[in-house]
């Protein structure tokens, strides 16, 4: 997400450092039996059924039959030497997917916003009704780590169940530093701006980032919607409203941004908190802020621009999430916003850069950049383009979005396959974070 706060400007520090070798992001073990993140207490009732819930299960193109209770196969060899080879064992992700209703699968596609300071109960009911699988803490909270943990644990209690096992929630926030730090108060450090972080050595940044991640983890979060991988040219500076105006960039060259965004991500991975590279393919060359402005255009960036380097390096280091911007890139795809562009997502991000993780949108709930589209159109356009997780800070948009996705799934087999593939990617990320339990 881009920032909208308008606080007094701080001093800028532009000292650049050389990069240290990238460190591959190592998250929790993929062994589904591990519970790396506390899921909190909650009732054991089956999830609420949403309007229009399809109680049937659509077979996954990757799955074998669901196993009762999500039990893992034994893998024992047949005693009959003439027996046909055993079918490949279903993965933890496959078993969860196969046990889900269509409505539950669609719910996994969403990350819904909840006030970090005062969660709205009506919004929480909407998110539960529509099986929303990921949460973003929004606004500002000065309550500190302990109070935030109580809020998060309460939200975790509404997570869906499949065969008696919870589908753990991804709980995220914007904890970049400087003017974009949602959580503060007792137990949380005051994180400096990206530009200040960029003046440190990468070793220092990684160490401090690991500490910031431990604080988020203690508060119950498992995903940070950071680091900012946008390269703002020094010639543009604070005229760049979404990034430069708030000093969110690590520096003014691709090399500095790449080395420091990777150091930030590596520190978080060291502490077991996932990160998100944003805002692909970069907001460094624009003037307008897509949260508050329509028709934001980048007429500079191409598929070979050096400003893609931080994303390329972060992907090679193992970034599990990449956030796609809501600007239009005329030299890549002049007809679509990036988040609605098959060229940006499939050709550049997936094929050219080789990204295999979860593609998440920038906020398409409240952003002015998407107001020409209905919520239903926003959701369908993003999934059609190849996106996986829809971020909406406004939960009231979820019903229309979810209904539109289900309707299109019934009409279009290709779209249905994209939804299923997206759910698998999201469940894979959850499994690696220890949020799925297979026994």
Backbone angles phi, psi at 228, to 5 degrees: -80, 120
Residue 272 has pLDDT above 90, yes or no: yes
Give, for 203, the enclosing helix (H) or strand (E): helix 202-218
- What is the Cα–Cα distance from 178 to 30, expressed in whole angstroms? 34
Residue 207 has pLDDT above 90, yes or no: yes
Give, for 402, the enclosing helix (H) or strand (E): helix 398-411
- What is the Cα–Cα distance from 54 to 31, expressed in whole angstroms? 30
More confident residue, 39 or 248: 248
Q: What CATH number should be reported for the domain holding residue 379?
A: 3.20.20.300
Confidence of residue 14 (pLDDT cuts 50, 70, 90): very low
- What is the Cα–Cα distance from 114 to 364, expressed in whole angstroms? 15
**Tokens 């979060």 belong to residue:** 221
- Per-residue pLDDT, 1: 61
Question: 122: number of CA atoms within 13 Å, CB side?
Answer: 2
Question: Would residue 235 count as lying in a domain?
Answer: yes
Question: Would residue 212 count as lying in a domain?
Answer: yes
Q: What is the pLDDT of residues 19-60, one digit of tens each?
A: 333 333 333 333 333 333 332 333 333 333 344 344 334 433
**Tokens 């490949």 belong to residue:** 88
Is the preceding omega at residue 279 within 30 degrees of 0, hence cis? yes
Residue 7 has pLDDT above 90, yes or no: no
Backbone angles phi, psi at 290, to 5 degrees: -65, -20
Question: Would residue 253 count as lying in a domain?
Answer: yes
pTM confidence score: 0.82
Question: Would residue 32 count as lying in a domain?
Answer: no
Question: Would residue 387 count as lying in a domain?
Answer: yes
Residue 154 has pLDDT above 60, yes or no: yes
Any residues with CB less than 8 A from the CB of 108 and at least 6 apart, and which? 100, 131, 133, 134, 167, 422, 423, 426, 427
Domain that holds residue 323: 90-432
Average pLDDT of the chain is: 85
Work out the angle at residue 99's Cα, subtended by the Cα atoms of residues 94 and 103, and round it to the nearest 5 degrees: 110
Question: Would residue 12 count as lying in a domain?
Answer: no
Q: What percent of the chain has pLDDT over 90?
A: 77
- Per-residue pLDDT, 89: 57
Q: Secondary structure of 368-426 in the HEC alphabet?
A: HHHCCCCHHHHHHHHHHHCCCEEEECCHHHHHHHHHHHHHHHHHCHHHHHHHHHHHHHH
Backbone angles phi, psi at 391, to 5 degrees: -95, 120
More confident residue, 53 or 400: 400
- What is the Cα–Cα distance from 372 to 24, expressed in whole angstroms? 40
Q: What percent of the chain has pLDDT over 70?
A: 79
Q: What is the pLDDT of residues 173-203, one digit of tens each?
A: 999 999 999 999 999 999 999 999 999 999 9
- What is the Cα–Cα distance from 412 to 371, expressed in whole angstroms? 25
Confidence of residue 17 (pLDDT cuts 50, 70, 90): very low
SS3 154: helix
Backbone angles phi, psi at 175, to 5 degrees: -125, 65
Q: How many domains does the chain divide into?
A: 1
Question: Would residue 359 count as lying in a domain?
Answer: yes
- State the CB neighbour count (10 A cutoff) for residue 318: 19
Helix/strand number for the chain, H first, E second: 12, 15
- What is the Cα–Cα distance from 423 to 417, expressed in whole angstroms? 10
Q: What is the pLDDT of residues 352-372, one digit of tens each?
A: 999 999 999 999 999 999 999
- What is the Cα–Cα distance from 276 to 291, expressed in whole angstroms? 18
Torsion angle of C-alpha atoms 127, 130, 135, 137, degrees rounded to 10: -20
- Per-residue pLDDT, 158: 87
Torsion angle of C-alpha atoms 25, 31, 35, 39, degrees rounded to 10: 90
- Per-residue pLDDT, 439: 65
Question: Would residue 22 count as lying in a domain?
Answer: no
State the pairing for strand pair 274-280/175-177.
unpaired
Judge whether 170 and 431 are in contact, CB under 8 Å. no
């Amino acid at each position: 997400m881009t920032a909208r706060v308008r606080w007094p400007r701080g001093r800028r520090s532009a000292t650049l450092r050389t990069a240290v070798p990238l460190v591959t992001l190592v998250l929790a073990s993929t062994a589904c039996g591990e519970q790396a993140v506390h899921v909190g207490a909650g009732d054991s009732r089956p999830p609420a059924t949403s309007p229009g819930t399809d109680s049937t299960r659509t077979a996954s193109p990757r799955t074998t039959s669901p196993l009762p209770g999500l039990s893992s196969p034994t893998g024992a060899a047949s005693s009959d030497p003439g027996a046909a080879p055993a079918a490949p064992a279903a993965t933890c992700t496959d078993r969860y997917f196969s046990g889900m209703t269509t409505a539950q699968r669609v719910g996994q596609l969403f990350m819904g916003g909840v006030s970090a300071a005062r969660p709205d109960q009506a919004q929480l009911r909407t998110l539960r009704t529509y099986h929303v699988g990921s949460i973003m803490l929004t606004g500002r909270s000065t309550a500190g780590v302990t109070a935030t943990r109580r809020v998060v644990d309460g939200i975790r209690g509404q997570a869906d169940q499949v065969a008696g096992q919870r589908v753990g929630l991804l709980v995220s926030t914007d904890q970049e530093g400087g003017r974009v730090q949602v959580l503060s108060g007792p137990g949380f450090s005051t994180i400096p701006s990206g530009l200040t972080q960029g003046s440190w050595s990468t070793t220092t940044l990684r160490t401090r980032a690991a500490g910031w991640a431990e604080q988020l983890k203690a508060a119950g979060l498992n995903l940070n919607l950071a680091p900012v991988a946008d390269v703002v040219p020094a010639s543009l500076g604070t005229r760049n409203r979404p990034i430069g105006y708030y000093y969110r960039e690590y520096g003014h060259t691709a090399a500095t941004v790449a080395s420091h965004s990777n150091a930030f991500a590596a520190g978080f991975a060291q502490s077991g908190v996932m990160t998100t590279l944003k805002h692909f393919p970069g907001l460094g060359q624009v003037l307008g802020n897509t949260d508050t402005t329509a028709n934001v255009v980048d007429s500079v960036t191409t598929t070979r621009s050096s400003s893609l380097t931080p994303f390329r390096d972060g992907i090679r280091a193992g970034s599990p999430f990449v956030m796609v911007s809501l600007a239009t890139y005329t030299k890549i795809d002049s007809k679509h916003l990036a988040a609605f562009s098959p060229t940006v997502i499939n050709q550049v991000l997936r094929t050219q850069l080789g990204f295999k993780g979860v593609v998440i949108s920038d906020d398409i709930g409240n952003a002015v950049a998407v107001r020409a589209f209905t919520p239903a159109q926003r959701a369908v356009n993003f999934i059609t383009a190849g996106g996986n997780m829809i971020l909406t800070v406004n939960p009231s948009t979820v019903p229309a979005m979810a209904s539109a996705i289900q309707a299109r799934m019934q009409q279009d087999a290709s779209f249905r396959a994209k939804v299923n593939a997206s759910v698998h990617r999201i469940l894979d990320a959850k499994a690696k974070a220890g949020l799925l339990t297979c026994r």
